[in-house]
């Protein structure tokens, strides 16, 4: 019951009411207006009750000395000598500080629920040739499960029949669907894009890839403790020191008012505001630039990070496929002719590579030709009659299966293109290869400058991606990143981060996809691409870049460093004001009332200093 009342009185509305009542008490006192009950009593009850409850519970249950204990002692002592305003003032200032600090450490935890919602609920079990839709919990290891186009794979398994392309971005972060055939592995939660496939379940339930992903995020989230309140860090020595000085003052001067004044001015009111006001100002400034910082703890950790780890697709790149090369193997055909043939043949395709080729041809204002007898072989390619000519587009293996002669020149070009981390579509006219079209992801503008700027402020960079090694190294080479780890599943990204942090590094992980969520939670600080990134990645991260502008990363680090310096300055200022006030109190130059007002001056100075942070330039 007491805890419930304390929680109610701790909210912003009741605290504001306490402030209004305290202001009324001050006005009445200055105007010498008599009233049956001093409004400061109500302020003490509203703002003081949660403080006393916190002090008692921490002292009895946790056996810890907190700042609330010193405030409680000061309140009781002030009330005992009739200084109600002083008691109400320290209670109100500390209540405001607690609210501000709580606001800076709030962290959303909805990501787990969204991640769980991605898990398939049903699967198509095949028994004696009969298909039965059953709950995924009833699928056992070794069962044959059919997955039709557009469905999520319900379990981890091995394809036993069928060909398709699978969107594995949820698990690996790969930008392209991966062609799959009999013998290949598929993961739970990935999306079957085209052909129907039958798979043999190898990992089900809690052992599946998606279940492991959920478990990793949960574990990482549980390992992140909330930031300890700044004033409580000082409480272990602050409370005994205040009591000793107050007792010595009482014994030497025989004046209880001086002793009580020492307790009042010793209360860490300005100290309580030093951290939250600076952090809120920094968070407000970052928000102006499209950077959402979820907590003061995240801001502090960002300033201490010394290595930035990047995901590739959607982070350093846009995650959008674009035609990068068009090569002709026929002297009679220009690059535009090859592109026109490929785009025409792919015009009915739903495959991302085919769509990208068609889109590029339209951008080049090329005319698409008449198409007949379109046929798509999932995971391999397409075939069609274009103006009466049989055009085949797909992998070199698929073309050879259809009787096309793939010469050495084609393989040389394919090797070059694959070495650059690009995907390639080979085009055949009849039985002869006539050209190929290469596609690649596009590196984000300013990404290279951002990496250089991080290096200039002594911050290392590393690439952690689920993409193929060739692709990863090609992109990293363009940007100047030398440390590259490719082909990583979510748990391997987590393991790599733990390995780096075990070596003494403080890692800032930047990612955008569901597969990045465990790494974002595990890292010392996580930053998500908030514009195009998944909701789960944004929820898992400590910071979100709402405009997907990674050039803001150096700005974020500079802002974090400046905020930490300002907090230290404000704490020093608060302690200096307290030190001067203690001396004045022992000399009877301050009483509990004027001592409380000195607290207000110190608090105002700290708040004003923090407010200046909001308009400073760090871009």
Question: Active-site residues: which are they?
Answer: 311
Separation CA 338–CA 325 (nearest Å): 11
Angle between helices 296-304 and 552-586 (to 10 degrees): 110
**What is the number of H-type helices and E-type strands within the chain?**
22, 22
Separation CA 398–CA 401 (nearest Å): 5
Containing 217, the helix (H) or strand (E) segment is helix 209-223
Q: State the sign of the Cα–Cα–Cα–Cα dihedral 311, 314, 315, 318.
A: positive
Q: State the sign of the Cα–Cα–Cα–Cα dihedral 357, 360, 362, 368.
A: negative
The residue whose two tokens read 């000195």 is: 598
Q: Which residues pair with 123 in a beta bridge?
A: 134
Phi and psi, residue 307, nearest 5°: -140, 130
CA angle, 12 then 15 then 20, to 5°: 125
List CB contacts of 127: < 8 A, sequence separation 6 or more.
144
CA distances from 149 to 190, 195, 265 (A): 12, 6, 71
CA angle, 99 then 102 then 105, to 5°: 155
Are the CB atoms for 326 and 338 separated by under 8 Å?
Answer: yes
Separation CA 231–CA 430 (nearest Å): 78
List CB contacts of 554: < 8 A, sequence separation 6 or more.
450, 453, 454, 457, 459
Separation CA 515–CA 173 (nearest Å): 6
Separation CA 167–CA 176 (nearest Å): 7
- Beta strand 371-377 with 381-386 is antiparallel
Are the CB atoms for 261 and 595 separated by under 8 Å?
Answer: yes
CA angle, 401 then 405 then 408, to 5°: 120
Closest-CA residue to 540 (of 562, 561, 519): 519
Separation CA 53–CA 6 (nearest Å): 7
């Amino acid at each position: 019951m007491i805890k419930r009342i304390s929680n109610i009185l701790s909210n912003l509305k009741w605290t504001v009411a306490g402030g209004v009542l305290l202001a009324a008490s001050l006005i009445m006192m200055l105007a010498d207006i008599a009233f049956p009950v001093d409004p400061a009593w109500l302020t003490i009850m509203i703002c003081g009750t949660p403080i006393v409850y916190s002090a008692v519970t921490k002292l009895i249950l946790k056996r810890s000395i907190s700042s609330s204990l010193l405030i409680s002692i000061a309140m009781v002592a002030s009330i005992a000598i009739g200084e109600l305003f002083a008691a109400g003032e320290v209670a109100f200032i500390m209540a405001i500080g607690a609210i501000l600090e709580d606001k800076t450490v709030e962290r959303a935890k909805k990501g787990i629920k969204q991640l769980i919602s991605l898990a398939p609920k049903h699967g198509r079990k095949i028994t004696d040739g009969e298909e039965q839709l059953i709950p995924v919990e009833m699928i056992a290891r070794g069962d044959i499960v059919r997955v039709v186009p557009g469905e999520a794979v319900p379990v981890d398994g091995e394809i036993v029949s069928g060909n398709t392309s699978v969107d594995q971005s949820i698990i690996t972060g790969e930008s392209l669907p991966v062609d799959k055939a009999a013998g290949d592995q598929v993961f739970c939660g990935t999306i079957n894009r085209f052909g129907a496939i039958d798979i043999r379940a190898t990992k089900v339930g809690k052992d599946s890839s998606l279940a492991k992903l959920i478990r990793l995020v949960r574990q990482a989230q549980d390992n992140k403790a909330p930031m300890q309140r700044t004033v409580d860090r000082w409480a272990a020595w602050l409370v005994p020191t205040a009591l000793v000085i107050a007792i010595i003052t009482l014994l030497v001067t025989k004046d209880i008012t001086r002793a009580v004044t020492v307790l009042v001015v010793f209360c860490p009111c300005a100290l309580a505001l030093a951290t939250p006001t600076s952090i809120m100002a920094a968070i407000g400034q970052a928000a102006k630039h499209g950077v959402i910082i979820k907590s003061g703890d995240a801001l502090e950790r960002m300033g201490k990070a010394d290595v930035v780890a990047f995901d590739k697709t959607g982070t350093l790149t846009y995650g959008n496929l674009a035609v990068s090369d068009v090569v002709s193997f026929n002297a009679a055909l220009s690059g535009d002719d090859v592109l026109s043939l490929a785009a025409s043949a792919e015009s009915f395709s739903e495959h991302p590579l085919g769509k990208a080729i068609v889109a590029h041809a339209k951008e080049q204002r090329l005319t698409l030709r008449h198409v007949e007898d379109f046929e798509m072989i999932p995971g391999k390619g397409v075939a069609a009659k274009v103006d009466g000519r049989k055009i085949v587009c797909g992998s070199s293996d698929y073309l050879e299966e259809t009787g096309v002669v793939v010469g050495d020149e084609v393989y040389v070009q394919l090797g070059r293109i694959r070495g650059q981390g690009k995907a390639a579509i080979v085009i055949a006219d009849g039985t002869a290869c006539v050209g190929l079209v290469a596609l690649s992801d596009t590196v984000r503008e300013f990404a290279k400058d951002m990496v250089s700027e991080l290096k200039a402020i002594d911050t290392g960079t590393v690439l952690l991606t689920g993409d193929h090694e060739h692709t990863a190294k090609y992109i990293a080479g363009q940007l100047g990143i030398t440390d590259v780890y490719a082909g990583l599943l979510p748990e391997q990204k987590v393991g790599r981060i733990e390995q780096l942090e075990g070596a003494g590094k403080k890692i800032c992980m930047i990612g955008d996809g569901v597969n990045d969520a465990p790494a974002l939670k595990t890292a010392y600080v996580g930053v998500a691409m908030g514009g195009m990134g998944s909701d789960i990645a944004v929820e898992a991260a400590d910071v979100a870049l709402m405009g997907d502008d990674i050039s803001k990363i150096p700005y974020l680090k500079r802002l974090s460093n400046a905020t930490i310096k300002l907090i230290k300055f404000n704490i020093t200022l608060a302690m200096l004001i307290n030190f001067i006030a203690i001396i004045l109190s022992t000399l009877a130059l301050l009483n509990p009332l004027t001592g409380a007002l000195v607290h207000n001056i110190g608090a105002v100075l700290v708040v004003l200093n923090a407010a200046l942070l909001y308009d400073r330039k760090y871009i």
